[in-house]
Each structure stands twice: as structure tokens, then as C-alpha cells.
Structure 1
Amino acid sequence: MRLCSIASGSSGNCIYVGSESTHLLVDTGISKKRIEEGLRSLEIKGEELDGILVTHEHADHIQGLGVFSRKYEIPIFATPGTIRGIRDYKSLGKMPEGLYREVHANSEFMIGDIAVHPFAISHDANEPSGYRFEQGEKRVAVATDLGKYDAYTVENLKNLNAVLLESNHDLHMLEVGPYPYYLKQRVMGERGHLSNELSGRLLCDILHGDLQNVMLGHLSKENNYAELAYETVKLEVTLGDNPYRGDEIPISVAKRDVISQVITV
């Protein structure tokens, strides 16, 4: 199974997950051109996709969905609340008929040879979800836009081989940065985003010997930067109540405008 970030950040998100025979996107929050360029670098054509899984209806996760869907008519998998939010997002334009497939948190389903397990996340959207993917003994997950995490979140991220995990902001940068007060409160709130510190603590809870790759994603352009996210998460692992040190874990940071390395498990 392969995991690759085509784009990840507060300005747009699109993640590829696939096997030899099944090709999926998680979110299409960038332009059709950029999605196609990312897929081309993976040697995949748009028409070869088997599904688009949408985490929630915010613009940085769906703004390319209308144009992309009108061209390729790929099935769109999302919770009922997210589908409702997509339908209400007028700037997407008219969507092709019959593409939506309702999914539900904690109800696994198959796309090709990949088992998809949606799980609920805490974010200020209609019915947001993260996604865990399994193919045989191989397991990867995409978990961003987490205002908080709890034992349920940890349970859904256990025993992974690779994960794309939110590391959205540095608390100090957010506190002294340019955002208005209400927006700072939203980002820091229980339905906002995970800070670097909380991302590291969540990682401590899911670490195990077979977690081969951790990709930090959804970094804020205004309130974070890659080196800070990387060093903070690494430090949390080193200081945390676990048998690992941060420099023992293969951690990378997904960029907003450059395709990531391809993680193969």
C-alpha cells in the first residue's frame, strides 16, 4: 500500500492512498491541474481513480471537487453531513448525478482491495471523519482537522504502518500572530486543530514497533513552519511516556505546494 501527500496545509489538502489495483484520494482541496500533476508523478491517470473520500466540507478540502468530478466522475465517499455540506457549497457548481456514496463512522466498507474505516473527528464541520485503510496486514491512516483527540481516536490509529497526522500550529506563534481573537479561539478550541505539542502526544499514544513512517500534515501557513513542527513532535516523543526517542522515528513533514515522498508499506 502507498501513501503520498499531493498537497497538505491550511490552504489545500489532497492525499493519495492506494494499492497495486486500487487508487484513492482523500480530499480534493486544490485545483484540478495540481491534482492531475500529482497523480501524473505517481503514474496514475484521473480516470483510474476508484474513489474520492472527503473528510469534511471546508474549502481547503473540497475546492477542487467540482471541476475534478465533472471531468472524471469518480465516486465520492463521505458522511451524510459532509455530503450535505458539499451540496451547500455553491462555488463548486453543479455536480454530476449519482456520484455520492454515503459512509458512516465505525462502519467499514471495501473499495477494490482496500478496506476503508471512517472514524469520527472533532472539528467544526457537519459530520467530519478521518480514514483508516487496510489491505491485508498493511494499515495506513489520514487524521487531520482534530480539535482534540481521545481514547476513541487513539484506538482508530493503533497498529498502523504509516500515518499522516495533523500538526497544525505552534501555540506561541498562534497566540502572538495576526489572527483575530475569535479565530485564534477557534483554532485552539476542541473543534479546531491539533497543535504541534498535541500532535506529538497523540503520536506517543500510537507508537509501536511496526509504525514505519509518520508524515506531519495540515500545517498552518501563518502559525507554523516545517522545522518547528518536526522538532516539537520529535521532542514530545523523546519526553513522553514511551520507550522511543524522537530521532528513532521516521518523521517527515508534508508541504502545501510540493508532492511528498511516496511511503510504501
Structure 2
Amino acid sequence: MVEICALASGSNGNCYYIGNQKDAILVDAGISRRQILERMNRVRLDPFKVRAIFISHEHRDHFRGVRVLSKHLNIPVYMTAPTYENSWTPDRPSQYRRFVPGDIVDVGEMKVHTFSKQHDAADPCSFRIEQGGINVGVMTDIGKPCDNVIRHFSECHAVFLESNYDEDMLWSGPYPWHLKNRVASEHGHLSNHQAFELLENHRTDSLEVVYLSHLSAENNRPDIALEAFKDLSAACSVRLTNRYAPSEIYQIKNEMVAR
């Protein structure tokens, strides 16, 4: 069995939990140590099961709390060398471990598949976590679904998938023109429509649940995001994450995957 939970998801901070009965990892730590521990306690997740933190890129909404949390839990932090070198120095953890995109990192019984993606960062990566035939993807901050994203997405039983903006809200909204172009570029973020197309065209029958993640506070709304995916609601469970609170814990059981 694998348990997953979005502890935070949005431009103010991101942190995703994936674990089994003995071990767990976090992907990103973009809110404070205190907030991460409080939210884990709220949904009764044991922080001392966490064996490692994986960082997708150096932007502070993914990196902010990693140094203090890593020290508190006495666990390593995995990231690429360019991510480390381009991060804000005071946030850098002492227990830094380097990976190269494409590496598979073993954490207990879990295998963390690392892969490159398109985003406006030094060396952005996403992750597919595999354990006992169960695959969970953490795929946010993606400008365009490249071949790496598509390949790993198609193996997932559960995925935290970016659905950052509604195109009408973005182009008619308050952002300055250069920021609108950045968000919508091939190195920006996925729109509701782009995320829907990825799901529609590349999901398999084994995909159980999709958590719409990293929703923009200015350029999206939860109801609009869910509406964009309504035609696929019979194929898999489509759920929301929250920037201010943890999601419910979702359990993926091996016997369900084996069917």
C-alpha cells in the first residue's frame, strides 16, 4: 500500500508526501518546517517516517523550508547540482545529495525515478515514485508536456498534476504582459486545458486518481479547474489540492493495482 498527500500546493508553497508502512519521502519543501509538521500532524502522518526530501527546482515556493526541515528530521535532500548552485544560499541544506536527471534513487522499498522537464529554472526535474508495482507521479511546474513527462505520466496509478491557470483568466487578468507570457510559455506552467489533454491522451486504465495541483490564486479557481476535467470524471477520480491545508490521505493498494 502507498499513501499520498499534498501538504501544500500553490505559488505560496509546495510539498507532497508519498509513503508506505515503513518509509516516506517528501517532494519539495516550499513552506516552513513548522507548517509542514503541523499539516502532517493534522492528517496523522508520522514525520519521522520521512527518509529523504527531493527538490524539483530552486524556486522558493519549492525550496523555502528544506534546510530547517532536513536538519530537524536529520535526513538528506536530493537535488541536481545546478539546482543547488542556483538556490538561495541561506536555504541550502547541509545534507545535500546530488542526482543527475535520469537517475533512480532507492529510498527503502521505494524507487524514485528522476527526469528532466521544461520550466524556467536551472535544471528542473519531476519524479515518479515506484513501490511494489505502484507508481505515483509529482508533475508540477511544467511549461509543456515533453516526452519525459508523457512517458512517466503514462505509468502512474496516481499523480499530482499541475493545472495552474485558466487561459481566459490569465489573458484577461491583472498580470503584466511579460508575466502572462512567462506563465503561458513552454517553460512556464500547464493550463487546465493542457493538463486535460495530457490526461485524456496519455492516461491508462490503471490511473486511479489525479490531484489538480499548483492552481494559481490569480488565474484559476477550483471550480473552473474541476469543470475543465468533468468529461474524464468517469475514467478516474479528479481531486483538488489546497495551498493552505493538506489534502486527504489517499491510499493505493497493491491488490487494486494487480487487477
Contact 1:15–1:25 (Cα < 8 Å) also in 2:
yes
Of 127, 142, 147, 2:123 maps to 127
CA-based RMSD? 1.5
C-alpha distance in 2 between matches for 1:260 and 1:39: 10
C-alpha distance in 2 between matches for 1:41 and 1:205: 36
Q: Do structure 1's residue 198 and structure 2's residue 194 form an aligned pair?
A: yes
1:5-24 Cα offsets, whole Å, 9 max, x none, are: 00101111011011111111
Aligned to 2:56: 55
SS at match of 2:212: strand
Aligned to 2:21: 20
Aligned to 1:251: 238
Which has the higher mean CA deviation after the structures are superposed, 61-70 or 164-173?
61-70
Counting only pairs closer than 5 Å after superposition, residues 49-198 of structure 1 correspond to structure 2 as 49-86=50-87, 89-92=88-91, 95-96=93-94, 99-198=95-194
Letter of the 1:264 counterpart: Q
Q: Do structure 1's residue 227 and structure 2's residue 223 form an aligned pair?
A: yes
Aligned to 1:242: none
Contact 2:30–2:62 (Cα < 8 Å) also in 1:
yes
Contact 1:52–1:75 (Cα < 8 Å) also in 2:
yes
C-alpha distance in 2 between matches for 1:91 and 1:177: 34
Contact 1:154–1:205 (Cα < 8 Å) also in 2:
no
Contact 2:9–2:15 (Cα < 8 Å) also in 1:
yes
SS at match of 1:50: strand
Deviation at 1:263, TM superposition (A): 1.4
Q: Do structure 1's residue 260 and structure 2's residue 239 form an aligned pair?
A: no
Letter of the 2:5 counterpart: C
Letter of the 2:251 counterpart: T
Aligned to 1:43: 44
C-alpha distance in 2 between matches for 1:148 and 1:57: 19
Aligned to 1:241: none
C-alpha distance in 2 between matches for 1:146 and 1:199: 10
Aligned sequence identity (%): 36
Contact 1:121–1:153 (Cα < 8 Å) also in 2:
yes
1:65-96 Cα offsets, whole Å, 9 max, x none, are: 1222332332001111112123xx0342x643
Q: How many residues align?
A: 251
**Is the alpha carbon distance of 1:180 and 1:91 closer, same or farther for their aligned partners in structure 2, counting shifts above 3 Å?**
farther
C-alpha distance in 2 between matches for 1:126 and 1:204: 30
Long gaps (5+) in structure 1? 239-244
TM-score normalised by L of structure 2: 0.92
C-alpha distance in 1 between matches for 2:70 and 2:196: 36
Aligned to 1:10: 11
Contact 1:214–1:251 (Cα < 8 Å) also in 2:
yes
Aligned to 2:256: none
1:152-209 Cα offsets, whole Å, 9 max, x none, are: 3211111211000000000111111111111111000010000000000011123222
C-alpha distance in 1 between matches for 2:64 and 2:147: 32
C-alpha distance in 2 between matches for 1:247 and 1:102: 41
